[in-house]
Every structure is written in structure tokens, then in C-alpha cells.
A and B are shown apart, each in its own frame.
Chain A
Amino acid sequence: ETGVTQTPRHLVMGMTNKKSLKCEQHLGHNAMYWYKQSAKKPLELMFVYSLEERVENNSVPSRFSPECPNSSHLFLHLHTLQPEDSALYLCASSQDFAPNYEQYFGPGTRLTVT
């Protein structure tokens, strides 16, 4: 595997379900990110981890819970979601947390909440 991988690629869940999204980066990077991409809206940064510590949380509802067990893996735990949470969830990584480093993205998980 190379780059940034995400599983599953597609997920359909009911509002009472609990599920997790997984992201893995094979680039040796120190920072990882979760983004939400909804139709006709800019990408929204949700969470940022640098060296496994959360450094940014942009007022995301508590029904989204991130976990970063090591610098290569990032999870997004989902529970009691709402239909408006349906979106493409993208994971990214960068060599460092500083603003001059480009981010590399995974293919995303297309989430549908029914």
C-alpha cells in the first residue's frame, strides 16, 4: 500500500448505529487530518493530530469522535449521526503540522446516514 488509504470506501448507516472510519498513511508523516466534504461547500477541517496529539478541533459535534493510536493510523468513530452528516469524509496527512507542508489525501469514505 502507498500513500493514504481509507476504509470503508462506502458506508450506509442508520441514525442509531455506531461505526468507525479508518485511515492509514504510509508516508512517514507526523500530522493527520479529518475533513468533511459536502456538496457545494468548501472542505471543512474537522480534526488535526500532530504526533498523535489532537491539536485542532473545529467545533465538531460530539457524535464524531477521533482517535489516533499512532502516527500512521487515524480513526473517526461515529454514533447517533444525523442525515445532514451524509458526506464524503476525507483523511489527509502531511510531513509536519507547519503551514508550509502540503497535505496528501486519501480517497475518502462516502457516508450516507438514513
Chain B
Amino acid sequence: AQKVTQAQTEISVVEKEDVTLDCVYETRDTTYYLFWYKQPPSGELVFLIRRNSFDEQNEISGRYSWNFQKSTSSFNFTITASQVVDSAVYFCALSEDQTGANNLFFGTGTRLTVIP
């Protein structure tokens, strides 16, 4: 079974619209870490955020915000007032403490296109 599911394969929005990217994870570990990465057309994955399983506080960074809910095993990412530069593939990822290793399980990604 896939540990990280990003059900939205592709999303298109018009500039200035808000958009939420969904991420659902699966783990039996009590301590784990969730990540979001952005992959622009240049190919390099850019780290956006890390969240620890014991910290459910939501986070806001500029136009980006993240909603972590353990009850639904979700870690959703919202971009407010989207811009063309936000166009990229976004990946959610999970690592588990029980492995003792930095093994990231990635979702299949959501391709976001922001139309000017």
C-alpha cells in the first residue's frame, strides 16, 4: 500500500485564486515526519516545510499554509492568491522514526498550473 497519496494528479487555477493540494499518509509509527517539496520545470526539488507528528499546529509562511490533521492522516497545502511562479509539481513525503533512517516515501505529486 502506498504510504503517501496525492489524489490530485493535475490542478489548474487562474492567477490570484486560492488552491489546496491534498496529501493523505499512512503509517503505524507514532513518531513520523511530513514534508512538502516543490519541483519547478528546472527539475530541482525545493524543500518547503517539515512537520513532526507530535506538533499539529498549522503553519503559515507568506502565501503558503499547511493544515496537519492526525485524525484524518492528512497534511494539506494551501496557496493563497496563486501566482504564475507557483506552477510546478508539488510532492508530499513521509519519513518514519521506527526506520531510524531518512527514507522518504514520496507521493506521486500534483502538477499545479497557474494560468495568468
Chain A residues in contact with chain B, CB under 8 A? 31, 33, 40-43, 45, 48, 55-56, 88, 90, 92, 94, 96-108, 110
Interface 9-residue window, one of B13-21, B41-49, B66-74: B41-49
Within 8 A of A (CB), among B32-62: 32-33, 35, 37, 42-47, 50, 52
Which of chain A's residues have a CB closer than 8 A to the CB of B2?
A: 42
Task: Please tell me if the beta carbons of A45 and B104 are within 8 angstroms of each other in the complex.
Answer: yes
Which of chain B's residues have a CB closer than 8 A to the CB of A97?
A: 101-102
A106 to chain B, nearest CB (A): 6
A111 to chain B, nearest CB (A): 12
A104 CA to B102 CA, complexed, in Å: 12
Which of chain B's residues have a CB closer than 8 A to the CB of A110?
A: 43
Across the two chains, which residue of chain B brings its CB closest to A109? B43
Task: Please tell me if the beta carbons of B106 and A42 are within 8 angstroms of each other in the complex.
Answer: yes
Which of chain A's residues have a CB closer than 8 A to the CB of B35?
A: 102
Which of chain B's residues have a CB closer than 8 A to the CB of A94?
A: 102
Q: Give per-residue flags for B96-115: 1 if the beta carbon is below 8 A from chain A beta carbons, else 0.
A: 11011111111111000000
Which of A40, A42, A56, A90 touches B45 (beta carbons < 8 Å)?
A90
Task: Please tell me if the beta carbons of A101 and B102 are within 8 angstroms of each other in the complex.
Answer: yes
Across the two chains, which residue of chain B brings its CB closest to A40? B108
A99 CA to B43 CA, complexed, in Å: 24
A108 CA to B45 CA, complexed, in Å: 9
B95 in the interface, Cβ–Cβ < 8 Å? yes
